Amino acid sequence: MTENNCRIICASAGTGKTYRLSVEYLSLILKYYSKNEFSLDNILVLTFTRKATAEIRDRIIKHLELLVSEPETEEEQKKQQELLLNLRKLNKTKEIPLSEQERNLLLSARKELICDQSHLQVMTIDSYTGQIFRNIVRPLKNIEHYEIDTEAVKKIMPFLLDHLMEPDLREKIKNLLSRKVSRSLDEYTKFFCSLIEQRWLFYMITKRQAVHNSSFSGTLMNLNPETEPAEFYEKFLKEMQRIIALVANICSDLGKASLEDYFNKDFRNLAVKGALTPVAIFNNLKQLNSDEAEKLLYILDKGTIWNKQKISNKKFEAENIELENAQNEAKHHLADYLIWKLYLPEQREIEELWSSVLERYDNLIYRYKNLTYDDITWFTFETLFSSEPPFLNPEDAVSATEFYQFLSHRTRFLLIDEFQDTSLIQFNILKPIIEEITAGEGSKPFGGLIVVGDEKQSIFGWRGGERDLLLNLKDIFPALGDLTVEALDKSYRCGPTLMEFINQVFMNAELCSLLQKKEMKWDYTHIESVEITKEPGTEIEFCLKNFSTSVTNADNEKDIYTDFVERMVLPALEKDDSGSIAILCRTNEELTKIQQALDISGRASLFQPNRSIIEHHYVAPLLSWLRFLAWGDWIDFIAFLRSDYVLINTKVLKQTLNIISRTLEIQKERQKPVRPDFSTIPVVNEFYQLSWEQENKKATEICREIIDLCLPSKQLSERDYLNLHRFLDILSTRQLTDPDKGISFPDLLTYLKDNANAEDFKQVSINADDSLQLLTIHKSKGLQFKRVFVFCNLSGKHSTDSNTLNWALEYEGNTFNRIRDYGISLHYQKILKSSSYANLYLQNQKRKQLEELNNLYVAFTRAEQKLHLYFGYKLKEGWNDYYNANKDDNLTVALCNSVFDYFKDSPFNERGVYYKKSFLQENKKETSFSSEPPKSNLEQSNYHLNIRHHRPVNWNKLVPVELPAVKDLKTYYLTERPNLIGDLLHFYMSFIIRNTPKEHNYAYYRCLNRYGAIFTVFQIEQLADRCKKVCDSNPYLFTSGWDKIFTEQEILWGSKIMRIDRLMVNTAEKVVLIADYKSGDIYDFNQLANYKTALSKLPVFKGYNIDTSIVIV
């Protein structure tokens, strides 16, 4: 029988999940390392980001080092005892100190990881899927090579659109796309992209429908689109007749206006159309076409169709009730009619087209070999389960046993981090592995599943994350009878005041009641702060701002971002801008507006959006210059002159435009090219004349010339230099890998445009721990900051793209294995809302609302000490009316009200901001700086100072002092490039073992292959000759006494990985020599000492004499 170790760990934000995962890992080592069948690579840890992977690996190594080392300080001893105590709790043993046997086990495990780090199996789930793809799927699919390209779908789309224009497919899309008129097929690119991105949904609705029974009679997917829906329209007309008759009776009784005045404007324009009698209005309704009926449905859903001012509740209470009931019934029947008339036909058309789109897309992938991570995940699943015939049958556990025994033979313990972000397709790949290693019978007598997650932090539903997988894990794996659920309820991120605020807000009685009423499962348990050191200086601020233009002195929406900066951000930072600081928003658009407000205020900030390098403000002008050289477009010439490179003023701009305009007129008259005369404008003339000198030059050479000409006097930031260097690197690489396209400017510019959004074209980011960072909430996940500002515009319109696939899904049971019902649409998703199938629509809306609540939970819990919340809304009546009108449809509004309830009895400052502070004041170690000049000693002292008179200075005897040279960063990064040169030299020397001509020849060609896109052949030859001279002048490195020589050897020291350039061993004389190559101007004098210390601790070098040597290359 397999011994199971299965548990779910619910880890709220800041409760130490990374620490807990590392403890779980060490616990498994102590428990199983002594067993013959066990090895460290039996444990697999899966994460969702590279950052999390690095953190967990680092924590495991540090904890292992802490346990086997003798603590040198009292703090280390305390950490060691705490770690041991947590290990004992997991293993349910009472003995605190490590036994000799346990210490030896951990030492052996540490040695194994030092010798082979591949045994520490911690990776992202994309990396794990990629391994299966490379080793199993790729050979089966006959894919010899491929490239990861996150923009592959967009690049393939033009070819896919051409395919859709073929005769057999054109008819399929004609009806679908003609319903909403657009100017071109390109406007539906997002729709076709969404078909590819949601291919998992297509698989579910075509392969995983639940078995039909009597309970399925009311499902949308079982309706016959050929059925005539006339009965629904008759019922709709009957209810509308009731409404018209009631309104007509009221109109007749009052006799003050015509019948059409008793209906609202939208209904009058669509249905009344000047009709004066109830019969005429009714006849108009009978003659509505499908599009008009759809518009009427949205009018009915928007509000009452009768004039509430003329038929008020006060005078006509009973009539209003009857009218509302009739309108609701009419809306329901009309929606059912449109389901048959519009929704189902479109759904059928999408399904027919979907299959063709996916088939053609896959063919294009095989041709171009560019795959996204989603493609790799899908092909992995499809090859293993979904092919015709499938490689494995996911429904038949027996057929998958052999394969998954192969996969799980090495992996016996699976630890999954951030499980709430797992997509269904990822889960279906992992599911049989989990079942195999926890089945009770297996290839080894042990196994286990440890899942760490928090459904409150599930914010990636838009990319496939499914929070309910975590909530229903027990139902999905019923065989796991001993599966335990443990909640981490201690926060190590913030102090008690901030933690209690978060507790009270998310446990607010009204918010909980609303969630229960809407049948939304969102459990929050009280979290206790144990980080008392973060308590001093804790402060929370809250501002609720009405920016309705109907409110006196209220801000306009365009000013809400300025108000946020001036009211909340700047005052807080003027008081204290130390430590890490972040502003969090929902969208990049909001962050851009906030950054603009910060720029106007003069406050520096760091906003690193996921933008293309060609949009960088020092790269875009270079592209304008290249475009002008390629096509001679004067707009590009002007764009370059107005950029930061030249920055001509408006007067010069006007003169330039006048000359260009006159030249174009003359050119038109003469019917031949005419060169303009810019001699009266020297700066413009200089660049125009320069453009005629660029013939036969490469793009990199041209760009370097412009940079050298325009930027030497400008003080660029480090990030600007790095992005310029990256852009030049892209140009060089393109020219060397494809010389033809490198020479042709039009082809080069086309290449840059086509790849603008590729991963390799992203702007270079820099680390900025102490700067003001602007981040979306999604990007902030996993991070923490001393001070956090959260901006939320409740009345902001979150864009919903109408040109993407809309879908709603209902699963059978809680296992997510089969679907009970579904609906898909391009234009008509809102019809579901009022129909008999509204449950599909409502389930989808609930999922989106919960994700919005999760977003704010993530944002609130990023702060360590200081949290500033700014909520804006727009309604002239004020907050109470806005809350009551929106709480049922927007959980963000409900949460804002919870914050408002928390602060309603708290004071507010002169800025109108509520605040709460910890009673413990922060003890600042930093020196505070005042904007006022310091007082002199004379002003500070009451004593009379005796001023002594000194002899005058003899200036002739003073020795001049040379000022230290200031490093020219431009020359350093773009011209000298010492780091790149050092990399090449080290790379070359890594192939030199015995200093033979064959080794040098091989090293040269390897350098040419790797660095040929950056350096010229002549430069690489020069550097290779330099390395040969170094080898010839240091013969001691190659004597025969060194019987073992290692280059670029990695060793583990503490939690760090160190790489030794050259390690030579004389086993006969027990001598070791460490050679360290130095090529740059930066030296770490402790580096060789650290190498020596690390080697001396390795058992294999016990008794060896270890020496070091620096080799200048």
Look at the chain and report how many structural domains it folds into: 5
Q: Which residue did the predictor score with more confidence, 956 or 237?
A: 237
**Model-level pTM?**
0.75
Q: What is the pLDDT of residue 186?
A: 64
| pLDDT surpasses 80 at 893 | yes
Residue where a domain stops, chosen among 730, 761, 792: 761
Residue 448 annotated as lining a ligand binding site: no
Q: Which of 651, 626, 624 is nearest to 638 (CA)?
A: 624
Same domain, 465 and 506: no
Helix (H, G, I), strand (E, B) or coil at 941: coil
Q: What is the pLDDT of residue 944?
A: 37
Pairing of strands 7-11, 1056-1066: unpaired
Q: What is the pLDDT of residue 405?
A: 52
* Residues forming beta bridges with residue 916, ordered by sequence position: 540
Contact of 614 with 756, CB cutoff 8 Å: yes
Helix (H, G, I), strand (E, B) or coil at 862: coil
| Rounded alpha-carbon distances, angstroms, from residue 218 to 234, 297, 686 | 20, 22, 76
In a domain, 374, yes or no: no
| Rounded alpha-carbon distances, angstroms, from residue 211 to 121, 216, 812 | 40, 9, 10
Contact of 989 with 1077, CB cutoff 8 Å: yes
Name, in order, each residue with C-beta under 8 angstroms of 848's C-beta and a sequence gap of 6 or more: 461
The DSSP symbol for 812 reads S
Task: Cis check for the bond before 389: say yes or no (omega within 30 of 0).
Answer: yes
Residue 742's pLDDT band, with cuts at 50, 70 and 90, is very low
Residue 13 annotated as lining a ligand binding site: yes
Name, in order, each residue with C-beta under 8 angstroms of 34's C-beta and a sequence gap of 6 or more: 101, 105
Residue 960's pLDDT band, with cuts at 50, 70 and 90, is low
The DSSP symbol for 945 reads P
| pLDDT surpasses 90 at 180 | no
Signed CA dihedral, 86, 91, 95, 100: sign only: negative
Hey, what amino acid is at 213?
A: N
Q: Which of 639, 610, 126, 706 is nearest to 380 (CA)?
A: 126
Contact of 135 with 383, CB cutoff 8 Å: no
Same domain, 824 and 715: no
In a domain, 171, yes or no: no
Q: What is the pLDDT of residue 550?
A: 55
* Residues forming beta bridges with residue 811, ordered by sequence position: 819
Residue 982 annotated as lining a ligand binding site: no
Same domain, 534 and 551: yes
Q: What is the pLDDT of residue 213?
A: 59
CATH of the domain at 461: 3.40.50.300
Same domain, 712 and 828: no
DSSP 535-581: -TT-EEEEEEEE--TTSTTPPPGGGHHHHHIIIIIHHHHHH---S-E
Q: What count of other Cβ atoms lies within 10 Å of the Cβ of residue 1038?
A: 16
In a domain, 194, yes or no: no
Among left, alpha and beta (phi > 0; psi -120 to 50; other), residue 106 is alpha
Residue 232's pLDDT band, with cuts at 50, 70 and 90, is very high
Q: What is the pLDDT of residue 934?
A: 38
| pLDDT surpasses 90 at 275 | no
Q: Where does 307-392 have alpha helices with state H?
A: 317-338, 344-368, 373-381
For the chain, the farthest-separated pair of C-alpha atoms sits apart, in whole angstroms, at 118
Residue 595's pLDDT band, with cuts at 50, 70 and 90, is confident
Q: How far apart are CA 9 and CA 488, in angstroms?
A: 7
Task: Name the one residue in this structure whose structure tokens are 């269904």.
Answer: 424
Same domain, 625 and 728: yes
Contact of 112 with 120, CB cutoff 8 Å: no
Same domain, 876 and 904: yes
What percentage of the chain carries pLDDT values higher than 70?
86
Residue 11 annotated as lining a ligand binding site: yes
Tokens linked to 504: 């009270």
Q: What is the pLDDT of residues 808-865, one digit of tens each?
A: 999 988 888 899 999 999 989 999 999 999 999 998 889 999 999 999 999 999 999 9
Mean confidence (pLDDT) of the chain:
84
CATH of the domain at 1078: 3.90.320.10
Q: Taking residues 587-592, what's their average pLDDT?
A: 88
Q: Which of 565, 649, 642, 648 is nearest to 605 (CA)?
A: 565
| Rounded alpha-carbon distances, angstroms, from residue 120 to 43, 449, 783 | 8, 17, 24
Contact of 887 with 894, CB cutoff 8 Å: yes
**CB-count burial class (<10 Å; 0-12, 13-18, 19+) for 252:** exposed
Q: What is the pLDDT of residues 743-787, one digit of tens each?
A: 577 888 888 887 887 767 888 766 555 678 899 999 899 899 999
| Rounded alpha-carbon distances, angstroms, from residue 140 to 54, 137, 377, 380, 389 | 32, 5, 15, 10, 13
Name, in order, each residue with C-beta under 8 angstroms of 258's C-beta and a sequence gap of 6 or more: 251, 276
Q: How far apart are CA 82 and CA 593, in angstroms?
A: 47
Residue where a domain stops, chosen among 761, 794, 811: 761
Same domain, 234 and 329: yes
Hey, what amino acid is at 944?
A: H
Q: Which of 637, 776, 771, 645 is nearest to 705 (CA)?
A: 645
Q: Which of 890, 888, 914 is nearest to 900 (CA)?
A: 914
In a domain, 164, yes or no: no
Q: How far apart are CA 612 and CA 764, in angstroms?
A: 9
Residue where a domain stops, chosen among 341, 376, 407: 341
Q: What is the pLDDT of residues 612-651, one digit of tens each?
A: 888 888 999 999 999 999 889 999 999 999 998 998 998 9
Same domain, 33 and 55: yes
Name, in order, each residue with C-beta under 8 angstroms of 25's C-beta and a sequence gap of 6 or more: 43, 45, 60, 415
Helix (H, G, I), strand (E, B) or coil at 46: strand
Q: How far apart are CA 662 and CA 658, in angstroms?
A: 6
Q: How far apart are CA 657 and CA 254, in angstroms?
A: 69
Q: Which of 175, 217, 100 is nearest to 346 (CA)?
A: 175
In a domain, 923, yes or no: no
| pLDDT surpasses 80 at 310 | yes
| pLDDT surpasses 50 at 398 | no
Q: What is the pLDDT of residue 974?
A: 43
Signed CA dihedral, 306, 309, 310, 313: sign only: positive
Same domain, 602 and 640: no
Task: Name the one residue in this structure whose structure tokens are 């001012």.
Answer: 309
Q: Taking residues 1041-1058, what's their average pLDDT?
A: 82
Residue 73 annotated as lining a ligand binding site: no
In a domain, 189, yes or no: no
Contact of 37 with 445, CB cutoff 8 Å: yes
Task: Name the one residue in this structure whose structure tokens are 């906030």.
Answer: 594
Name, in order, each residue with C-beta under 8 angstroms of 212's C-beta and a sequence gap of 6 or more: 222
Tokens linked to 577: 């801008």
Contact of 400 with 434, CB cutoff 8 Å: no
**CB-count burial class (<10 Å; 0-12, 13-18, 19+) for 602:** exposed
Structural domain harbouring 856: 496-608+770-917
Same domain, 687 and 595: no
Q: Which of 455, 536, 434, 450 is nearest to 485 (CA)?
A: 450
| pLDDT surpasses 60 at 289 | yes
Signed CA dihedral, 506, 508, 509, 514: sign only: negative
Q: How far apart are CA 351 and CA 361, in angstroms?
A: 15
Residue 391's pLDDT band, with cuts at 50, 70 and 90, is low
Contact of 451 with 480, CB cutoff 8 Å: no
Q: What is the pLDDT of residue 129?
A: 92
Q: Which of 311, 320, 340, 331 is nearest to 240 (CA)?
A: 331
| Rounded alpha-carbon distances, angstroms, from residue 168 to 171, 356, 361 | 7, 10, 16
Q: How far apart are CA 684 and CA 642, in angstroms?
A: 11
Task: Name the one residue in this structure whose structure tokens are 């972000």.
Answer: 421
The DSSP symbol for 228 reads -
Same domain, 580 and 671: no
Residue 592's pLDDT band, with cuts at 50, 70 and 90, is confident
Same domain, 627 and 756: yes
Residue 229's pLDDT band, with cuts at 50, 70 and 90, is confident
Q: How far apart are CA 408 and CA 401, in angstroms?
A: 10
Residue 1003 annotated as lining a ligand binding site: no
Task: Cis check for the bond before 746: say yes or no (omega within 30 of 0).
Answer: no
Cα angle 1035-1041-1043, degrees, rounded to a multiple of 5: 110
Q: What is the pLDDT of residues 143-166, one digit of tens each?
A: 878 888 888 888 888 888 888 888
DSSP 506-541: HT-HHHHHHHHHTT--------EE--GGG-TT-EEE
In a domain, 791, yes or no: yes
Hey, what amino acid is at 284?
A: N
In a domain, 204, yes or no: no
Helix axes 152-164, 344-368, angle to 10 degrees: 120
CATH of the domain at 867: 3.40.50
Cα angle 1110-1052-1081, degrees, rounded to a multiple of 5: 30
DSSP 592-639: HHHHHHHHHHT---EE--S-BGGGSTTTHHHHHHHHHHHH--HHHHHH
Report the range of poorest mean pLDDT among 367-376, 589-598, 964-973: 964-973
Q: What count of other Cβ atoms lies within 10 Å of the Cβ of residue 1021?
A: 14
Report the range of poorest mean pLDDT among 39-48, 88-97, 210-219, 233-242: 210-219
Report the range of poorest mean pLDDT among 24-28, 866-870, 921-925: 921-925
Report the range of poorest mean pLDDT among 329-343, 576-590, 1015-1029, 1047-1061: 1047-1061
Cα Rg, the chain, nearest whole Å = 35
Residue 680 annotated as lining a ligand binding site: no
Residue 1068 annotated as lining a ligand binding site: no
